[in-house]
Amino acid sequence: MIGFYSPKAKSGVTELSLSIYKWLKEHTNLKVAFISYGSLEKEEISDELIHGFSNLTLTQQKQKIKKMKKEFNIIIYDASSQLSEGVLNLLPIVDRLFVVGEEHKDFAIKLHQIIEFNKIFDKRVKNLITHLQGSKTFILSENKENRVIGFNYTKKDSNDIGQMIYTDYVTHYVKVKLIEKNEKILRKIKLIPQEVLHKGLYDLGIDYEKALLFHKFVVLRAALGQPYNEAVETLFPFLINSSFNELLDKFQNELYAIAKLKI
């Protein structure tokens, strides 16, 4: 879900968000939806284009978004409105937030600070903090070498922002697919008894030598006092992402470090 927002009325948010919605529909094969917090005069309401979202309760809004996320790849959220509690209540569920208007840079930074403070008291806020601080933060200006929060919208931005959102989606899709696959494998590995871990890994398709080495690594960690499942989970990324030689180097380095401590 991609949010476009400005604290000032009539700041071009709707024009921008609609242009991004249309760009994605024209240049990608993704299923794209559009939600406007306010009412639009020219656009007809349909299953994929909804406006007057402010007429729904917060619970109804979240239920609607949850349902739409199952049907559409990307949802564009036009939050063009003066500062309101209704808009702010939805901001924590967006995956990327665009603050429109270069003059609103200070506002965007202040919003960041307020949400960061509020996360101490409200766990629901934490996701947005991650987005604001991490790779999902919207940072763009006409000078691409000097990125800032907030920007002045021009029509040429539609292509840049559209490409950015599409890249985000592709990255997210690949990441989710890989993570889901790995999580399923990890759950299966945790069910394997420690004494036959290498055999269980081999049955799951892991090379036998690598499976045997991973087994030894887990046994070493367990001997040092780490719980079995925790050792499996901690070392799992090395099993999936490392070659046999890389895993062997890590195992030998750990043995060396332990031996050095005992000297």
What pTM, to 2 d.p., does this model score? 0.59
Q: For the residues of 196-239, what is the DSSP string, one character each?
A: GHHHHHHHTT--HHHHHHHHHHHHHHHHTT--HHHHHHHHHHHH
Q: Is the pLDDT of residue 135 over 60?
A: no
Percent of the chain surpassing pLDDT 70:
71
How far apart, in whole angstroms, are the C-alpha atoms of residue 139 and residue 76? 17
Q: Tens digits of per-residue pLDDT, 192-229?
A: 999 999 999 999 999 999 999 999 999 999 988 889 99
Q: Find the mean pLDDT for residues 166-172.
A: 81
Residue 7 in tokens: 């604290």
The overall average pLDDT reported for the chain is 78
- Domains of the chain, by residue range, sit at 2-175, 192-262
Phi, psi of 44 (to 5 degrees): -85, 140
Q: Is the pLDDT of residue 152 over 60?
A: no
pLDDT at 76: 92
How far apart, in whole angstroms, are the C-alpha atoms of residue 139 and residue 69? 24
Q: What is the CATH number assigned to the segment(s) 2-175? A: 3.40.50
More confident residue, 256 or 260: 256
How far apart, in whole angstroms, are the C-alpha atoms of residue 235 and residue 214? 8
How far apart, in whole angstroms, are the C-alpha atoms of residue 143 and residue 65? 34
Q: Quickly state the pLDDT bin for 257 (edges 50, 70, 90).
A: confident
Phi, psi of 194 (to 5 degrees): -55, -40
Phi, psi of 50 (to 5 degrees): -120, 135
Q: Is the pLDDT of residue 181 over 60?
A: yes
Q: Is the pLDDT of residue 156 over 60?
A: yes
Q: Is the pLDDT of residue 43 over 90?
A: no
Q: Quickly state the pLDDT bin for 14 (edges 50, 70, 90).
A: confident
More confident residue, 26 or 115: 26
Residue 175 in tokens: 């990441």
Percent of the chain surpassing pLDDT 90:
28
Phi, psi of 184 (to 5 degrees): -65, -40
Q: List all residues 6 or more positions away from 202 whose beta carbon is below 8 Å from its beta carbon.
A: 208, 211
